[in-house]
Amino acid sequence: MTRPQVGDRLADRLSRRRWLAVGASAVCAGILGNARPAAAAEAARKAAEAALQERSQQNRSPQSQVEGTPKEGSMPWIDAHAHVWSDDVARWPLAGQQTVADLKPRQFLPEALLELARQEGVGRVVLIQHSVYHLGDNRYLIDCTRRFPGRFAVLGMVDDRQPQAAEKLRSLHEQGVRGLRITPRIHGPRWLEGEGMASLWQTAAQTGQVMGCLIDPEHLPQLDAMCQRFPQTRVVIDHMARLGADGTIRPADVAQLCRLARHRHVAVKISAFYALGKKQPPYDDLLPLIRRVLDAFGPARCMWASDAPYQVQPPHTYAASISLIRDRLEGLSAGDRQWLLARTAEEFFFTA
């Protein structure tokens, strides 16, 4: 497979007709509007906004029912990261001493997620085990895949400090679980140490399952070392390693993330915009970071994801998340965008 290159310029961004309309509007404003440059600029701006809106509408796919597998081409995009849970804690118990009062929001059901996704042409979603609410009890997400066949892939969780961790991972593989969420938030700074964790990485290399890493920038060196130790294990870094979560995107952190691109089985989720940088839609302040990540990893190792339901808490929306990649990220070919919005996630999570 030949990986696409970023940067088939503006031809993909606007149709020729709309591009000419932008220029014509500016010229007309200059001739008919007392030749004021401001008028010309304003006309060009409005025409460009109309073009962006047109592209957004074109890229939304026809409506389809939530039930069943989406028809071919009807909802082409894949959301590579979302969470769902139920407030039926009698059937789906919470970890530890948590109660319904700890759930925020109280529930976010797969039906609600699929409806949000449908409106933006998203037909499939990767469900990520919640590292607080359910920990290693993966039954709810597995049930979702059975209730909605073809719509979901799942990353579960296994406690690497418990006996037979590798065997549990293989058992999950047999149930269709495509990988694991791992994070230092469970066991602290030594999260990647120990025989149990090593056995999970080795087993994942054999089964093709993914190690999905919820980390912060300071954990990148540890992950880098682990990728060197297990070069055949597929790794996906959540949320661009949360660069800019404190409001500042530091060049050293960006360089450290991009350094992991030398490991050919490492990919990055471009996601959780609500939590990064200025944390305000339309999230244009994140575009330079996204371009750096794309330059390093290439579109075939980058994937868009929402991180719903957190991405859908006001003022944030599902539409604003996908729009940043689908409509606002310039300089991509149609093929590049296809990798970011579908093909990469399909390769990692939906291909047997």
The 10s digit of each residue's pLDDT in 297-313 is 999 999 999 999 999 99
Q: Is 67 domain-assigned?
A: no
Q: Do 52 and 77 fall within a single domain? A: no
Q: Do 295 and 186 fall within a single domain? A: yes
Q: Do 20 and 119 fall within a single domain? A: no
Question: What's the pLDDT tens digit per position in 300-351?
Answer: 999 999 999 999 999 999 999 999 999 999 999 999 999 999 999 999 999 8
pLDDT score of 148 more than 50: yes
d(CA 291, CA 301): 13
Q: Is 64 domain-assigned?
A: no
Angle at 316 between CA 77 and CA 216, to 5 degrees: 80
d(CA 54, CA 61): 13
Q: Is 4 domain-assigned?
A: no
Q: Do 229 and 268 fall within a single domain? A: yes
Q: Is 337 domain-assigned?
A: yes
Q: Is 6 domain-assigned?
A: no
Q: Do 218 and 305 fall within a single domain? A: yes
- Whichever domain contains 142, its CATH number is 3.20.20.140
Of 58, 87, 109, the one marking the end of a domain is 58
Q: Is 253 domain-assigned?
A: yes
Of the pLDDT bands very low, low, confident and very high (cuts 50, 70, 90), residue 252 is: very high
**How many domains does the chain divide into?**
2
Which structural domain, as residue segments, surrounds residue 37? 16-58
Q: Do 264 and 140 fall within a single domain? A: yes
Instruction: Pick the closest to residue 262 from 305, 211, 225 (CA basis).
Output: 225
Q: Do 228 and 104 fall within a single domain? A: yes
Q: Do 112 and 41 fall within a single domain? A: no
Q: Do 88 and 210 fall within a single domain? A: yes
Phi-psi region of 259 (alpha: psi -120 to 50; beta: other; left: phi over 0): alpha
pLDDT of residue 74: 77
Q: Is 68 domain-assigned?
A: no
Q: Is 260 domain-assigned?
A: yes
Q: Do 125 and 190 fall within a single domain? A: yes
Q: Do 92 and 230 fall within a single domain? A: yes
Mean pLDDT of the chain: 85
d(CA 229, CA 329): 35
Q: Do 206 and 326 fall within a single domain? A: yes
Question: What's the pLDDT tens digit per position in 10-66?
Answer: 333 333 333 333 333 332 333 223 334 344 444 444 444 444 444 444 444 433 334
d(CA 100, CA 92): 11
